Amino acid sequence: MINIFTRRRIVQDPSLSKFLFSDTRMAVVWLAVRLYVGYAWVEAGLHKIQDPAWVDTGLALKGFWLNVTKIPAAPAKPSITYDWYRGILQFLLDNDVYTWFGKVIAFGETAIGIALIVGAFVGVAAATGAFLNMNFLLAGSASTNPVLLILAILLVLAWKTAGFIGLDNILLPLLGTPWRGEDKSRRARVIVPRRRHTDAVA
């Protein structure tokens, strides 16, 4: 029986997947997605930065956490479905984390948006944005989060080419992720040793 955990195999991506997420011809499409998602994050972040209740006192974040952690009387349903997530937010409330975490959210959202717009480390920025979208959804806030989450996942999948029209065209090659075709001269060659034939001695 072949051990599937020790036998090495490389599963090739289908042609459609390669075209969507690895072909630089799709960079124009990903640029449009980046600009849309990036603008949404910049707009949300700057709105919070200009609000003292977010960056000075954190009371805006406190109010949001207090509102979503409330458990209403039946038959009304709470904003948060999962008790473990409610417990996390309650812990943050009890320890006054909102006093400084409001700044993190405000400037973090702005940084994500700027990175997406200029195309710098698009995969990391999109993954961070998706994490924030997921937290807002867990807290019961839908708004634009479902759409932004889906677009962020697509940008993560296309991280190699999503920032091709942007700073990633410079940054990723510096980190060892160049956009170049397969170098046929570097293909590994399989050398099969010749079988030696010996004459039988009478």
b or e along 105-140 (b: 16 or more beta carbons within 10 Å of the residue's beta carbon)?
bbbbbbebbebbbbbbbbbebbbbbbebbeebebbe
pTM: 0.82
Q: Is the pLDDT of residue 107 over 80?
A: yes
**Band of residue 160 on the pLDDT scale cut at 50, 70, 90:** very high
Which residue from 159, 150, 172 is spatially nearest to 26, judged by alpha carbons? 159
pLDDT, tens only, 45-89: 999 999 999 999 999 999 999 999 998 877 888 889 999 999 999
pLDDT, tens only, 187-198: 444 444 555 555
User: Domain residues of the chain, as ranges?
Assistant: 32-169
* Alpha-carbon dihedral 86, 87, 88, 91, rounded to 10 degrees: 120
Question: Residue type for 168, please?
Answer: D
Residues 6+ apart with CB under 8 A from 39: 113, 117
- CA dist 42 and 37 (Å) reads 9
Per-residue pLDDT, averaged over 19-43, amounts to: 95
Say which residue the tokens 């990175």 belong to.
115
